[in-house]
Amino acid sequence: MANAKINEDLVRERKNATFDVVELTNLLDGNKEKTNRRKELGKGLNIMFCWIPGHSGIIGNEMADKAARRPATVVDNFVPLCDALQAVKNQLTKKWQRTWDEQNQNKLHDIQPMVKPLKNCALNRKQSVVLNRLRIGHTRLTHKFLLLSEPPPTCTRCQCILSVKHILVHCPNFDIHKRNRFGGNICLKDLLGEIPHPNLFHFLHDIGIYELI
């Protein structure tokens, strides 16, 4: 490093250091006699010691050593707030969907099996009321008996308790009208789902219940 700052300990150490190979060898062996004895035992092998500068005192190298000695390098895992919120929202939606998947006896489940907002449709006030009542399955026609403390109404043809699903999907009384408006039988999701069928209100007028919803 070109501008490396040498620390004071290293300056002092280098000042007292020797670069004499014989002196270094004697020092590392212990003393001159021990060096001579080792050479005798080495049978001609000549081992020499020399000094090689270490990392000490060089700022960049000391920083690298310090970083390497850290138990773990800290990784900056920055996540933008909007991404974190979106992840939480996704997890909650998945959990909500799993709960909703188990509610398959719920009237709304047939109409909206996915947990997501219904789209706004260009409907007038009356049409919006009719559509929402059909979606939740509670209409004046099928549920006014609760207010009047009467028995529930039944289909005059099928003799079953009258329900929105029966009227719109199952009752054969309206097969001709369903063929005319929908081309045949149709499910609740296609009738009342995210985008209601464009002929829904025509059909309700045809069978005479639009004003009874």
Least spacing, CB of residue 154 vs Zn ion, in Å: 9
Put residue 57 in one of left, alpha, beta given phi > 0 → left and psi -120 to 50 → alpha: left
Nearer to Zn ion, 58 or 188 (CB): 188
Stretch binding Zn ion (CB under 5 A), from 100-108, 109-117, 150-158, 200-208? 150-158
**Residue 157 near Zn ion by CB under 5 A:** yes
What is the rounded CA–CA span in Å between residue 138 and residue 30?
Answer: 102
What is the rounded CA–CA span in Å between residue 178 and residue 21?
Answer: 108
**Residue 155 near Zn ion by CB under 5 A:** yes
Of the candidates 37, 183, 188, the one whose C-alpha atom is nearest the C-alpha of residue 106 is 188
What is the rounded CA–CA span in Å between residue 167 and residue 187?
Answer: 11
Stretch binding Zn ion (CB under 5 A), from 31-39, 134-142, 151-159, 195-203? 151-159
What is the rounded CA–CA span in Å between residue 119 and residue 2?
Answer: 68
The full length of the chain comes to 213
Nearer to Zn ion, 116 or 157 (CB): 157
Nearer to Zn ion, 24 or 155 (CB): 155
What is the rounded CA–CA span in Å between residue 189 and residue 195?
Answer: 9
Q: Are 57 and 6 in contact (CB under 8 A)?
A: yes
**Residue 161 near Zn ion by CB under 5 A:** no
| Angle between helix 21-29 and helix 32-41 axes, rounded to 10 deg | 90
Nearer to Zn ion, 111 or 171 (CB): 171
Nearer to Zn ion, 27 or 155 (CB): 155
Nearer to Zn ion, 113 or 153 (CB): 153
Binding mask 168-197 for Zn ion (x = CB under 5 A): ---x--------------------------
Count residues contacting Zn ion (CB under 5 A)? 4
> Residue written as tokens 């029966």?
166
Stretch binding Zn ion (CB under 5 A), from 23-31, 114-122, 164-172, 197-205? 164-172
Interface positions with Zn ion (CB under 5 A): 155, 157-158, 171
